Structure 1
Amino acid sequence: MSELSNEKKRALAERMFINDGMTCKEIAVQIDTSEQTLSRWRKGRTGEKDWDSRRAEVLSAPHKIKEILLKELQLVAEGQKPNVDADALAKISKVLETVSGKVSVQAVLSVFQEFDNWMASQEPETAVSFLEWHKKFIIHKASIE
């Protein structure tokens, strides 16, 4: 990796640390850079968050929590002992969704079903046109979760 510029090494190291969860020691070996240099990079540039804060944000993102839960589910399905307290993680995830101000796909689906049933009794033709838009929105919402 010595052919990479320091800037490219820094960007690669940053991704490896923040997104991949690698240690500085592991990264140092992979990109042929000293741990001291990585430690300096890890503090972040002026005006930037340090890598540790950014890693914590990535790890606490709802999609990352779901990824961890799926891995734990696979362990349990294989008869192994889980590495984390899945119940606690699920509760934390639920709280994060609540405070994020976003509504879950399940809640949207429930409200749309109730609305569609009511609309069908009011104006069936209009209800049909709403169904298509509701379906598109639910697919969109599910894709971003």
Structure 2
Amino acid sequence: MSVLSNEKKRALAERMFINEGMSCKEISIQIDVSEQTLSRWRKGRTGEKDWDNRRAEVISAPHVIKEILLKELKLVAEGEKPNVDADALAKISKVLETVSGKVSVQVVLSVFQEFDNWMASQEPEVAVSFLEWHKRFILYKASVE
């Protein structure tokens, strides 16, 4: 991956850490960047939320909660014991939506991801052009929350 610029490596590392939940050690190996550099990037740029907070937002996004609940449903359907308390998870999610009174970053992220997947199947080239704008809007939205 040495052909990638540092900026592209940073963007890739950011996605791998926040969206894919990878550890810095795993990312370091895959994109050939030191863990020290990743630690510095992880703190975020001036005015940005750090990667840990953004990862927490992604994990609590409605589409992620839905994935967790679907996995739990499969376990129950197969006669196994669930790993999480689905009722508690649903209640917490509902309270968060109610308390905020506005569309959260998590909901925006979830909708953008659904849109991006749909757009990629329609017009892949156009879908790519939306990604940077979606990222910018999510960063803006996160900064005003």
- TM-score norm. by structure 2 comes to 0.64
Mapped contact 1:62–1:97 kept (Cα < 8 A) = no
Q: Structure 1: state its 5+ residue gaps.
A: 103-142
How many residues in Structure 1 have an aligned counterpart in Structure 2? Answer: 104
Match of 1:82 in 2: 82
Percent identity of paired positions between Structure 1 and Structure 2: 88
Mapped contact 1:18–1:51 kept (Cα < 8 A) = yes
Match of 2:34 in 1: 34
Code of the aligned partner of 2:40: R
Deviates more, 1:44-53 or 1:71-80: 71-80
Mapped contact 1:44–1:50 kept (Cα < 8 A) = yes
- For residues 111-126 of structure 1, the aligned pairs below 5 Å read none
- Could you list the structure 1 runs, at least 4 aligned residues long, displaced by more than 6 angstroms after superposition: none
Backbone CA RMSD of aligned residues: 2.0
Shift of 1:21: 0.9
How many angstroms apart in 1 are the aligned matches of 2:94 and 2:6?
A: 41
Shift of 1:30: 1.3
Query: Larger radius of gyration, structure 1 or 2?
Result: 1
Code of the aligned partner of 1:73: L
How many angstroms apart in 2 are the aligned matches of 1:79 and 1:33?
A: 44
How many angstroms apart in 2 are the aligned matches of 1:33 and 1:81?
A: 41
Shift of 1:64: 1.9
- TM-score norm. by structure 1 comes to 0.64
Code of the aligned partner of 1:99: V
Q: Can you list the C-alpha shifts for 1:56-94, whole angstroms capped at 9, x where unaligned?
A: 111112222122211221222233333322221111112
How many angstroms apart in 2 are the aligned matches of 1:91 and 1:13?
A: 33
